[in-house]
Amino acid sequence: MGSVSEAIGRTAAERANAGPPLVCWFEDCGRESVPLVGGKCSSLGELINAGVRVPPGFALTTEGYRRFMAKAGLEGELRSALAGLDAHDHGALEKASARIRSAIEAQPFPLEMEDLIAECYRRLAVRCCVPALPVAVRSSATAEDLAGASFAGQQDTFLWIRGVDDVLSHVRRCISSLYTGRAIAYRIDRGFAEASLAMSVGVQKMANSFTAGVMFTIHPANGDRSVIVIDSNFGFGESVVSGEVTPDHFVVNKITLDIIDRTISQKQVCYTVDPVTQTSRAMEVPFERQRVQSLIDDEITELAWMGKQIEKHYGCPMDIEWAVDKDLPAGGNIFILQARPETVWSAKSQSATSGPGGSAMDYIVSGMLAGKKVN
């Protein structure tokens, strides 16, 4: 059982000798860290190390998760709640889920883990020079984003969490989200063993986003790899990710970074922080701003450039979440919150646009014979 300073300050070599840590800074993670910190946190670490601007943060590791579960002594409770459960009995699933989740959420962290998390959070706040730093607490599942077993988004995400106590309780809520009715049913259907289950939770500085959204480094409609497509709305990116609004839509030429197409939509809702309650909530966009372009041209270009670098780093088309922070000056205010390989087009083998790659003459003749549809 290591001390706080041990967990945070140890060198990589020491860590290797001392077994997996319970918490881990993002910058100490990389592509290979999925078993330790899950897909989401490992990719954030990978991005930071590639020089991409990512809000800082740390992860409760899968080891931390296991320690928590072991100390909580919930095995009996879990086993009895899940015993003989029918994956298609919605009522029973929800009942079991509620029972397990409240049991997990009611369970305090062991003291030394609470200290560890609290110290990491304090250091993060110091790093960002913000007292009671608002953070996003997100689950980072080890099975998430893995081919064929995508239950991405099935775990909860909590925005704008401030203070140690709230952070701790939301980390528990993330852990408990492993036991939503849907997640339980999914595992029963696929025959995943409960024992092998593990998850990590990321605690990340919250970008106070003026505008946020998603970006694909491939055209999601036609698989065109020469463009970057950006969807944006005011406030946090949740309104875009969830599909609650029709966002502004930009198509950028990946090679030249020209904006080749733009659609400015009427954006009625955005997510932002309620200044009184200090919580994230949906609010109506003032009418006069609804048709205003939510991302300025310079930001579009910079964002697309970042997307291009990320794609280059990973070597494949990417699906990226991003935000423009309103507290920081232009040129340093665009952050990448998440990046994962794009799965739809990458799974399809692009159909060859020609025969066996013949001569120019062959192509011209076959093209002439096919003609060009007027429409």
**C-beta of residue 329 within 8 angstroms of C-beta of residue 364:** no
Q: Which residue among 75, 89, 105, 258 contacts another protein (CB under 8 A)?
A: 258
Find, among 254, 228, 227, 224, the residue nearest to 353 by Cα.
224
**Contact flags string 352-371 toward another protein, x per CB under 8 A:** xxxxxxxxxx-xxx-xxx-x
Residues in 289-308 that interact with another protein by CB under 8 A? 297
Least spacing, CB of residue 234 vs another protein, in Å: 23
Q: Structure tokens of 71?
A: 């100390």
Site string for another protein, 262-291 (x = CB under 8 A): x-----------------------------
DSSP secondary structure, 36-96, as one string:
HHHHHHHHHHHHHHTT-----EEEE-HHHHHHHHHHHT-HHHHHHHHTT--TT-HHHHHHH
If the CB atoms of residues 129 and 361 are measured against another protein, the closer one turns out to be 361
DSSP bridge partners of 235:
271
315 binds another protein (CB under 8 A): no
Structure tokens at 137: 């607490």
Nearer to another protein among residue 277 and residue 353 (C-beta): 353
Binding residues for another protein restricted to 69-108, rule: CB under 8 A: none
Least distance in Å: CB of 142 to another protein?
30
| Closest separation in Å from C-beta 261 to another protein | 6
Residue 112's nearest CA partner among 209, 268, 6, 239 is: 6
330 touches another protein (CB under 8 A)? no
Q: Is 298 helix (H, G, I), strand (E, B) or coil?
A: helix
Residue 16 CB: number of other CB atoms within 10 A? 10
* Residue 327 is a binding residue for another protein (CB under 8 A): no
255 sits near another protein (criterion: CB under 8 A): yes
Site for another protein in 214-233 (CB under 8 A): 219, 222, 224-227
Count other Cβ atoms within 10 Å, centred on residue 354: 10
User: Smaller CB distance to another protein: residue 138 or 254?
Assistant: 254
73 vs 373 by CB, closer to another protein:
373
- By CB under 8 A, is residue 256 in contact with another protein? yes
Provide the edge-to-edge strand list for the sheet that holds 199-205.
23-25, 57-60, 199-205, 135-141, 157-161
By beta-carbon proximity to another protein, the closer residue of 268 and 346 is 346
Task: Provide, rounded to whole angstroms, the least separation between the CB of residue 257 and another protein.
Answer: 10
193 binds another protein (CB under 8 A): no
Nearest to 324 by CA among 160, 159, 212, 233: 212
> Which amino acid belongs to residue 156?
D
- 1 vs 352, which CB is nearer to another protein? 352
d(CA 23, CA 162): 19
Q: Binder to another protein among 24, 254, 306, 307 (CB under 8 A)?
A: 254
Contact at 8 Å (CB) between 59 and 92? no
Q: Which stretch binds another protein (CB under 8 A): 13-21, 153-161, 177-185, 345-353?
A: 345-353
In the complex, what is the shortest distance from the CB of residue 338 to another protein, in angstroms, rounded to a whole number? 23
Instruction: Report the candidate in 4, 46, 15 with the shortest Cα–Cα distance to residue 341.
Output: 46
The residue behind tokens 């290797």 is 16
Stretch that binds another protein, among 41-49, 76-84, 171-179, 259-267 (CB under 8 A): 259-267
Q: Residue 12 or residue 368: which is nearer to another protein going by CB?
A: 368
Site residue total, another protein (CB under 8 A): 39
Q: Is the dihedral of CA 73, 158, 240, 46 positive or negative?
A: negative
Q: Which is nearer to another protein, 251 or 320 (CB)?
A: 251
C-alpha angle 101-105-107 in degrees, rounded to nearest 5: 120
Residue numbers at the binding site for another protein (CB under 8 A): 219, 222, 224-227, 251, 253-256, 258-262, 297, 350, 352-361, 363-365, 367-369, 371-375
